[in-house]
Structure 1
Amino acid sequence: MLQTALQFSHTLLKEVIQEGDSVVDATMGNGNDTAFLAELVGTNGLVYAFDVQKQALVNTEKRLTELGLQEQTILLHQGHETIKETIPEDTQLKAAIFNLGYLPKSDKQIITQPDTTKQALDALIARLKSKGRIILVVYYGHTGGEAELALVHEYSQKLPQEEYSVLTYQFINQRNNPPILFCIEKK
């Protein structure tokens, strides 16, 4: 069976992340990706996880504690647009993941924004190691979602093919705007 966008995002990350790597969860949410990344990098690696909602930090901290993964994570109650100022400039990142849209089971008025996503992408691209990947799972079936999808598509298309490969993955015959996955890989 074909993988969902979420399943495929994890497959793409497993292919490149190794024990000891530094990675980013740009949209912490309920902590599922943060925990997944923490398992991959192990106790010698580091996961920087960002979210603007306090509930995301509470949910993620609880999940990490239950799994014994808090040692290799830094939870940041701030937006991913602060990556440039938060992660040291000389830090080489192996991967990052975004789930763009809103936090499930929370206030649907609090959504990710095109301008902050662009700032985050700029900061990540500057720190991305060779063979590193940035995964963006774009949920766009809400007000504001189409604008962010357009930004990610345009941003990805403009990356020079000599330096980056970009993949999109989506189901085109499903109802209710299934998410679209983008994978940016540095050559």
Structure 2
Amino acid sequence: MERGLRATPDFGAQTPLSRSSTQLSLATHIDSNGGYVTRQPIQVLVIPFRRTSRGYRFGVLHRADFDAWQGVAGGGEGTEGPSEAAARELGEELSIDGRVSIIELDTRSSIPAYFFEQRSSWARNTFVVPEYAFGADVTGHRVRLSEEHTEIRWLSYETASQMLTWDSNKTALWELWQRLTTWED
């Protein structure tokens, strides 16, 4: 398998993190089913893409709660690591079930912790939350948006880059596009 490409575990799979409990600083919140979920101070970003006869098309999602265009995003829950969180968020926000190919990107960003409701439950020295970026090949998968988004547009790299709101999303998109087009024969 090429560098950076690997099969994603089934959605919902969890594996222990290799961090100590003081580094995890888990926060607890209630999920949509009324159950308690621990929200870790990590964020994931997933740029979905499709292979088409016109080249690669990247999924850019419009948020329902404010005017922003972005990739799939969310936080780590329980003991899942970044790749498991990415797979779960992809399944939740795009209603994709089954296995998809995930590309783990080198792009990393930091988000100020004060943007997160769970901040007060994390360790006092949690000032920024690391964001881990991924690409996901959803070619052939049916996509249904969750209530978090109002629209998804499948765009060329150039158009998607112009539409994205956040710089971290633009950087991750650029890296993904480079990896995809550099690996083409």
Greater helix share, 1 or 2?
A: 1
The structure having more radius of gyration, on CA atoms, is 2
Higher normalized contact order (CA 8 Å, seq sep 6+, divided by chain length):
2
State TM-score, norm by structure 1: 0.28
Greater strand share, 1 or 2?
A: 2
